[in-house]
Amino acid sequence: MRHCTPEDLGLAALGEPLPADEAAHLAGCARCGDEVAALRRGVEALAVPELAAPGPPVAPPPGLWAGIAAATGVGVAPRAHVVAASAPPAGVPDSPPLPVGAGPVPPPADPPLAPVVPLRPRRSRVLLAAAAALVAGLAIGAGAVALRGGDDAGGSGVPVAAATLDPLAESDASGRAEVVERADGTLVLEVDLAAGAPAEGYYEAWLLTESVSGLIPLGVVRTGSEQFELPAGLDLGEYPVVDVSIEQLDGDPTHSGVSVARGQLA
């Protein structure tokens, strides 16, 4: 059997449409579906706003300009409107004094800007393939496919089990989990989580055995409502515990051991 190429698997994980033949194969192939699920977990993690937010700007070291001047032979300090500085750094001579009676030399006029021509947006499969390769490098495996709220094409389904997620230790996280069965027989776990953003890392949902001797990773969960399609043939009687943990972007797919909320399906 010919399976989907790594490029098509990456595109599917990014939510891009595939050719009809590839899409049909992916819909019926458990092996390719598991690959997409593993890649999509990396996409979910990278989409967490707390992880994607840029950090504060870092000021350059005090001797940076002096080092540049010494290495390049530049003998003037940057203009004030380019680099804010009250005086040129040590080792850089001041500009020569103006002749007596001469007025200030106006700064050179900025060159005219080229006209901006709006371009028609387009998507490049090459760029998407590169993004898919990045996701493949960061993916850390998952046992189920995470679905965004509102994307459930099969409808809300029939509730079959529910659990209250109680906070653990000193955590302020809490919520509710419910398993619903769709018309096609698939099971979906809906998680409503109320929690502040973790200081580091991200939240992840799991299914555990009662003895905590076995677990199934579901995917990244954020404050609000999330849905996870459960693996086919899963016995909820064997994995009745819903767990929410804090995980780090360290490439380790195992449970961190830091749980913030937990409840048992009934």
Q: What's the confidence (pLDDT) of residue 7?
A: 86
- Given this model, what pLDDT does residue 129 score? 46
259 and 205 share a domain? yes
Are 137 and 231 contained in the same domain?
no
The model's pLDDT over 192-232, given as tens digits with 9 standing for 90+, comes to 999 998 989 999 999 999 998 899 999 999 999 999 999 98
Q: Check residues 124 and 31 and name the one with the higher pLDDT.
A: 31
Residue 45 contacts by C-beta under 8 Å, 6 or more apart in sequence? 51, 138, 140, 202, 220, 249
Whether residues 244 and 137 share a domain: the answer is no
Q: What is the pLDDT of residue 201?
A: 92
Query: What pLDDT sits at residue 208?
Result: 94
Question: What integer best gives the mean pLDDT of the chain?
Answer: 75
Q: Are 42 and 133 in contact (CB under 8 A)?
A: no
Token pair of 161 as six digits? 């089990």
Segment 172-181 shows an average pLDDT of: 95
Q: Do residues 137 and 148 share a domain?
A: no
Q: Is 202 among the domain residues? A: yes
pLDDT on residue 177: 96
Q: Is residue 213 domain-shared with residue 254, that is, in the same domain?
A: yes
User: Residue 25: its pLDDT value, please?
Assistant: 87
Provide the pLDDT for residue 31.
Answer: 86
**CA 224 from centre of chain:** 16
Lowest mean pLDDT among 81-85, 164-168, 170-174: 81-85
Residue 29 and residue 44 share a domain: yes
- Residues 185 and 252 occupy one common structural domain: yes
At 226-245, the pLDDT tens digits run: 999 999 899 999 999 999 99
User: Is the same domain home to 166 and 256?
Assistant: yes
CATH number, domain with residue 248: 2.60.40
Q: For the segment 23-70, what is each residue's pLDDT rounded down to a tens digit? A: 888 888 888 888 888 888 777 766 655 555 555 666 677 777 777 777
Give yes or no for residue 163 having a pLDDT over 90: yes
Which pTM value belongs to this model? 0.48
Same domain, 134 and 214: no
Backbone angles phi, psi at 226, to 5 degrees: -130, 155
What's the domain count of the chain? 2
Regarding whether 190 and 256 lie in a shared domain, the answer is: yes
256 inside domain: yes
pLDDT for residue 187: 94
**Sequence-ordered list of residues with C-beta below 8 angstroms from that of 115, at least 6 positions apart, any chain:** none
Round to whole Å and give the CA distance between 207 and 141: 15
**Which residues on adjacent β-strands are paired with residue 247?**
202
- Structure-token pair, residue 249: 């972007």
13 with 133, same domain: the answer is yes
Has residue 106 got a pLDDT over 80? no
Residue 13 DSSP code: H
CB 157 within 8 A of CB 168: no
Q: Are 220 and 138 in contact (CB under 8 A)?
A: no
- The boundaries of the domain holding residue 11 are 1-51+125-141
Please report, rounded to a whole number, the percentage of residues in the chain having pLDDT higher than 90: 33
What tokens were used for 158? Answer: 């029939």
Q: Are 247 and 159 spatial neighbours (Cβ–Cβ below 8 Å)? A: no
CB 188 within 8 A of CB 230: yes
Does 221 fall in a domain? Answer: yes
- Same domain for 177 and 134: no
- Contact in structure between 203 and 221 (CB atoms under 8 Å): yes
Q: Looking at residue 119, what is its pLDDT?
A: 43
